């Protein structure tokens, strides 16, 4: 084989390899939900001494424009110095965001859902050691013709106390993509639907919706024990 032909083939292989890297990188980026955020969260009831909870939601998600399906990662973390004991994490959907499944968790009966919500799952945790976290894969749908919010309360195992609650916090679009296969949504951005009958996708308002803007406050909900505190966020205590 001549050196010229060898050089040409080598150049082709290098180009192909570079293209493959670009394709793989693009695919990974499309699935990346970005860093986790506790935006919209606050302390409700005082946690046991040495225990401090927080939750995290992705900064961005992507909604399939055809199926309306989306994947969300919900994380609960013990930032304290002592183990938590038995607790539970709730994943609750509002408005256009409907929680279809949370891996390893149980659905909340419709009669026990908080007022204003459309779906929810309860995740039981036997113990969360100091500095440790636990993440759950959430399958959901998002109707882009509506607003959509999610709520993550962290409670005692019997639901009588809520130590921490993130949300209801909205997801919304800042880049309408009617001809694209998916629409990106950002955490803390209120999705503003267009007028009925329009072919356009919802537009996004500039501000972050207040914590109480769920259409209705989270109320006591029977055995589920989901509730929303109207109190202003208090300082975290160990």
Residues 37 and 27 in one domain: no
Which tokens is 89 given?
């994490």
Instruction: Note whether 112 and 172 are same-domain residues.
Output: yes
Q: Are 12 and 122 in a shared domain?
A: no
14 and 129 inside one domain:
no
| Inside any domain, residue 229 | no
Q: Categorize the per-residue pLDDT at 38 as very low, low, confident or very high, splitting at 50, 70 and 90.
A: very high
Residues 78 and 180 in one domain: yes
Task: Give the tokens for residue 194.
Answer: 């267009």
Domain shared by 61 and 83, yes or no: yes
Q: Let me know the angle formed at the C-alpha of 56 by 133 and 58, rounded to the nearest 5 degrees.
A: 125
Q: What digits encode the pLDDT tens for the residues 179-230?
A: 789 999 999 999 866 444 444 444 444 433 333 333 333 433 333 344 444 3
Is residue 233 in some structural domain?
A: no
Question: Same structural domain for residues 44 and 137?
Answer: yes
The CA distance from 157 to 188, in Å, is 28
Residues 69, 111, single domain; the answer is: yes
133 in the same domain as 219: yes
The CATH number assigned to the domain holding 103 equals 2.60.40.10
Same domain for 164 and 96, yes or no, is yes
**One domain for residues 5 and 42:** no
Is 177 a domain residue?
A: yes
How confident is the model at residue 173, as a pLDDT? 85
Which residues span the domain enclosing 78? Answer: 33-224
pLDDT of residue 150: 98
What is the b/e burial string over 178-208, where b = at least 16 CB atoms within 10 angstroms of the residue's CB? eeeebbbbbbbbbbebeeeeeeebbebeeeb
- Please give the tally of structural domains in the chain: 2
C-beta separation of 202 from 170 below 8 A: no
Question: Are 145 and 212 within one domain?
Answer: yes
Report pLDDT digits (tens) over 56-102: 999 999 999 999 999 999 999 999 999 999 999 999 999 999 999 99
């Amino acid at each position: 084989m001549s050196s010229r032909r060898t050089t040409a083939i080598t150049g082709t292989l290098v180009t192909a390899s570079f293209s493959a890297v670009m394709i793989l990188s693009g695919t990974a980026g499309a699935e990346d939900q970005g860093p986790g955020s506790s935006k919209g969260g606050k302390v409700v009831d005082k946690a046991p001494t040495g225990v401090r909870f927080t939750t995290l939601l992705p900064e961005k998600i992507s909604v399939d424009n055809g199926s309306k399906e989306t994947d969300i990662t919900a994380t609960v973390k013990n930032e304290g110095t002592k183990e938590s004991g038995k607790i539970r994490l709730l994943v609750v959907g509002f408005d256009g965001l409907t929680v279809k499944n949370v891996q390893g968790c149980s659905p909340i009966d419709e009669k026990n859902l908080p007022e204003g919500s459309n779906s929810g799952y309860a995740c039981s945790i036997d113990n969360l050691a100091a500095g440790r976290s636990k993440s759950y894969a959430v399958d959901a749908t998002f109707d882009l013709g509506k607003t959509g919010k999610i709520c993550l309360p962290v409670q005692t195992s019997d639901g009588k106390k809520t130590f921490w609650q993130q949300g209801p916090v909205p997801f919304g679009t800042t880049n309408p993509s009617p001809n694209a296969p998916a629409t990106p949504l950002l955490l803390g951005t209120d999705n503003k639907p267009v007028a009925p009958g329009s072919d356009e996708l919802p537009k996004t308002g500039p501000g972050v919706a207040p914590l109480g803007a769920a259409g209705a406050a989270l109320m006591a909900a029977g055995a589920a024990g989901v509730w929303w505190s109207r109190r202003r966020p208090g300082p975290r205590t160990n």
